[in-house]
Amino acid sequence: MIIPFTDSTLIDNAIDLICLHHAKQTRKLEKASYLIHPLGVATMIHRDFLEKATPELIAAALCHDLLEDTECTAAELEAVCGKKVLMIVQGVTENPAFNDSKDWELKKEDYLSRVEESSGESKIVCLYDKIHNLNSVLVEHERQGIQIWEKFNRGKKKKLWFEKECHAMLSKHLDLPAVERYGQMIVKMEKLK
């Protein structure tokens, strides 16, 4: 059972919540437990920000995909992790009104606008989410080769477009070494066959 929200239990609650909702999910590229992703994003933020990484930021990093990829509701997330975490997560959540199959480009453009209008914390979560995902692409490309591009809705060309647009948007708002690292990873991805 998840303990009701308090400051002292925030990160534990976030971990319990992602374990509850992501437990049976797997990553599409490496077929590993999905939990690797939110834990990886939160760990990178904690590592790069140390004392400046508030419990709310870490909890939001842990929970960033709950509203988009699970049955977790905004009400549940707020009850377990609080309003601040909910607001950060909503800032990086794609609009469910867009259909994956035919509205992919519109969905991604809307996502970029949503993140740009969101808080600085949402932008940080977005940045580290993209870094963790791109790292998976680079690692799995070494293992799987060009077949990896078949696992993306629009292939390499559109994936690259989206990453470049996201990097450009984040570059305008965040002055962090991780933004440069993200840009370098995009260049590496572009060179892959």
Choose among 87, 68, 85: nearest CA to 15.
85
What three-state secondary structure class fits 7?
Answer: helix
Q: Which residues pair with 33 in a beta bridge?
A: 26
Residue 148 belongs to a domain with what CATH number?
Answer: 1.10.3210.10
Counted domains in the chain: 1
Query: Is position 164 within any domain?
Result: yes
Query: Is position 166 within any domain?
Result: yes
Cβ neighbours of residue 142 closer than 8 Å, sequence gap 6 or more: none
Q: How far apart are CA 77 and CA 87, in angstroms?
A: 10
> Mapped to the 3 state alphabet, what secondary structure does 88-128 carry?
HHHHCCCCCCCCCCCCHHHHHHHHHHHHHHCCHHHHHHHHH
Tokens of 83: 């309003």
What three-state secondary structure class fits 25?
Answer: coil
Q: What's this model's pTM, rounded to 2 decimal places?
A: 0.93
Query: Is position 65 within any domain?
Result: yes
Q: Would residue 5 be called left, alpha or beta, if left means φ above 0 and alpha means ψ between -120 and 50 degrees?
A: beta
Query: Is position 148 within any domain?
Result: yes
| Cβ atoms within 10 Å of 39's Cβ, excluding its own | 18
pLDDT tens for the chain, 193 residues: list them.
555 555 558 999 999 999 999 999 999 888 899 999 999 999 999 999 877 889 999 999 999 999 999 999 999 999 999 999 999 999 999 988 876 666 888 899 999 999 999 999 999 999 999 999 999 999 999 988 888 888 887 889 999 999 999 999 999 999 999 999 999 999 999 998 8
Tokens of 94: 């794609």
DSSP state of 5: P
Q: How far apart are CA 145 and CA 63, in angstroms?
A: 31
Query: Is position 1 within any domain?
Result: no
Domain coverage including residue 178: 7-191
Query: Is position 2 within any domain?
Result: no
Query: Is position 40 within any domain?
Result: yes
Contact 116, 169 (CB under 8 A): yes
Cβ neighbours of residue 133 closer than 8 Å, sequence gap 6 or more: 37
